[in-house]
Amino acid sequence: MGSNSIVSNRWMSEKMNCLDLSPNSNSDNEEEEVHVLAVDDSLIDRKVIERLLKISSCKVTAVDSGWGALKLLGLLDDDEEDKSSSSSSSSSSSSSSSAGFEGLKVDLIITDYCMPGMTGYELLKKIKESSSFREIPVVIMSSENVMARIDRCLEEGAEEFIAKPVKLSDVKRLRDYYMATREIRSVQSSVNVNKRKLQESFDVSTSSSPPSISPSPSPSSASPQSLFSSSAPCSPSSLDSPTRRIKMTSFD
């Protein structure tokens, strides 16, 4: 594998091919901005990835450790927070982010693999175990192309494994990929909302309709047997008896 080769999930290119990713000059910059959390213990590498992300119109929050990333995301318990006390330095491209990280919205996480205290793989596992952040795409960077390491990260849920040094084209492609997946999720959300509204409308119309009344059978539709089933069998009267009629005739 080349020095800048990229290993990614197979369905990544399929998602991107479904959408038009050409820039739209009329789009709102705030809506198009992608917030990326960059994690790297190397100051130089961290500044490089931060610079590349800013050139690609991304908002960046950079931290120097996996513990720092978990603390920023609010995923540390009391014991883990003690371990992270030495890894709490962070920087941000936004002054509001440096003031506090409550309610921080992160769209994409890019992390180095080899870091002291917590590797990028361990950080990946922590994020994927979180119900709040498991859907955030995580990209792993490394200067070592070890296939076992790459396979393990992809199996754990990493979107990509990028070999260092990271290029500007890599960062721009990651941004385009995220924008594509965000548009797909938006379309899917709209479809789900429309389905739910249609189902609710159907349920309301069904519950408001009057109950059906079964028509009672008319006398003409009743069978001959049903007309006489409630009474005893009729016997001919004494006047109608053939024997009685003969006797009366002979007497007269």
56 phi, psi to nearest 5 deg: -85, 15
Taking only the tens place, the pLDDT of each residue in 118-156 is 999 999 999 999 999 999 999 999 999 899 999 999 999
Q: Rg for the chain (alpha carbons), in Å? A: 39
- Amino acid 22: pLDDT: 42
Contacts of 176 (CB under 8 A, 6+ apart): 16, 21
**Better-predicted residue by pLDDT, 196 or 169:** 169
Q: Whole-model pTM above 0.75? A: no
Contacts of 142 (CB under 8 A, 6+ apart): 112, 113, 114, 120, 149, 161, 162, 163, 164
**Is the alpha carbon torsion for 182, 184, 187, 190 positive or negative?**
negative
- Amino acid 10: pLDDT: 43
- Residue 235 pLDDT > 80: no
State the fold for domain 35-75+103-188.
Answer: Rossmann fold (3.40.50)
- Amino acid 21: pLDDT: 40
- Residue 63 pLDDT > 50: yes
**Better-predicted residue by pLDDT, 206 or 63:** 63
Taking only the tens place, the pLDDT of each residue in 76-106 is 876 666 555 554 544 444 333 333 455 578 9
Tokens at residue 66, please? 């996996």
